[in-house]
Amino acid sequence: MERTRLRRQVALTRQSLFDQGFLDEQFIQLEDLQDDANPNFVEEVVTLYYRDSARLITNIEKALEKNSLDFNKLDGFMHQFKGSSSSIGAKKVKAECTLFREYCRAGNGEGLPHLSVQGLNGFAWIHTSCRCTRTFQQIKKEYATLKRKLEAYFQVVRQAGPAETACWPK
Amino acid sequence: MTLVLRFQIRLSYGRATFAPRTSSEQPRSIPQFRGLRVILADDDALNRTVTKKLLEKLGCEVTAVSSGFECLSALSSAENSVRLVVLDIQMPEMDGFEVATRIRKVRSRSWPLIIAVTASAEDNVWERCLQMGMNGMIRKPVLLQGMADELQRVLQRVGEGL
């Protein structure tokens, strides 16, 4: 039966997103909130995430283009972005965000001693800012990959129709 | 009459396949929280959407606002019908601490109840929350079970007259 096949496809696609490390437990929290009153809640939240975070990404990009990096500002943006990514269970994106924030703290002279700017002046600063930029490229890559995968997943979900927990018409 | 509520603690990480929960496993609207009027203040649209749905899932009636100012004005226009305020601490312009301080200037310590939501992992955040007149605190990410637990704890303390 076509519906059974589609349902299986939904389950397999979903499972692979977890197995490949794209999503974590937080995504299940969102699924728990989905119900008959909000049957597309998960997709709506993910759409909201991509819409809202686009602005943050632009802000970070602009901040990274400056000649002199404001690590505090960057860290602030990234704190927000990491928080949002965490809310939808975006595991890989979140991991890259954590790394980025560590580099921001190093750029401020805090954090890992071997990245401290004390005594190393320009070299360490450039080193850290390169790392921030490169990590951000990685973030954008993971962000875009997840978007594609989730779009494909929601498409199958829609094709498969309402889930077992939905009320069947009487 | 004593009402005993038992919460089933699910250790989700133990489930290797991340199987979606069936409707029988999902936390149900808890009688104690049904109809509980809540104001939720969070400047982040995503967090606001998720936390609002979470509270509704627990049975609460939620008004969601996006700033400290809106929170205070919603509270004053609702008079005494709001039982609980769930407050994100890190909000621009007016943070959660300031909102709580302003609320406590005119309201008693147990009405409305205030639960703080924070991303901070620092130990002294809870002390600061208490100083500002808050009744509870939840760390992000906000989970259904975590919110249910903290809500129950806070309501119980009020019931015990603490």
Give me B150's structure tokens.
């903290």
User: Is residue A119 assigned to a domain?
Assistant: yes
Average pLDDT, chain B: 85
Q: pLDDT digit string (tens) for A19-49? A: 999 999 999 999 999 999 899 999 999 999 9
CATH number at residue A81: 1.20.120.160
User: Is residue A169 assigned to a domain?
Assistant: no
A88 touches chain B (CB under 8 A): yes
DSSP codes, chain A:
-HHHHHHHHHHHHHHHHHHTTSB-HHHHHHHHH--SSSTTHHHHHHHHHHHHHHHHHHHHHHHHHSSS--HHHHHHHHHHHHHHHHHTTBHHHHHHHHHHHHHHHHHTT-S-GGG--TTTHHHHHHHHHHHHHHHHHHHHHHHHHHHHHHHHHHHHHHHH-S-TTSPPP-
Considering its fold, how many domains does chain A have in total?
1
ipTM, two decimals: 0.80
| Number of cross-chain residue pairs from A and B with Cβ atoms under 8 Å apart | 63
In the predicted structure, residue B6 carries a pLDDT above the cut 80: no
Q: How far is A153 from chain B (nearest CA, A)?
A: 15
Judged by CB atoms closer than 8 Å, whether chains meet at B144 and A83 is answered as no
Judged by CB atoms closer than 8 Å, whether chains meet at A80 and B26 is answered as no
| Whole-number Å distance between alpha carbons of A139 and A136 | 5
Across A83-92, A126-135, A151-160, least confident range: A126-135
The torsion region of residue B139 among left (phi > 0), alpha (psi -120 to 50) and beta comes to beta
| Whole-number Å distance between alpha carbons of B132 and B142 | 21
Q: pLDDT digit string (tens) for B36-78? A: 999 999 999 999 999 999 999 999 999 999 999 999 999 999 8
| Residues spanned by the domain of A107 | 2-30+39-160
A16 touches chain B (CB under 8 A): no
User: Is residue A67 assigned to a domain?
Assistant: yes
Residue A121 pLDDT? 55
Q: pLDDT digit string (tens) for A50-108? A: 999 999 999 999 999 988 888 889 988 998 899 999 999 999 999 999 999 988 888 76
Among partner residues A28, A83, A165, which is closest to B18 by beta-carbon distance? A28
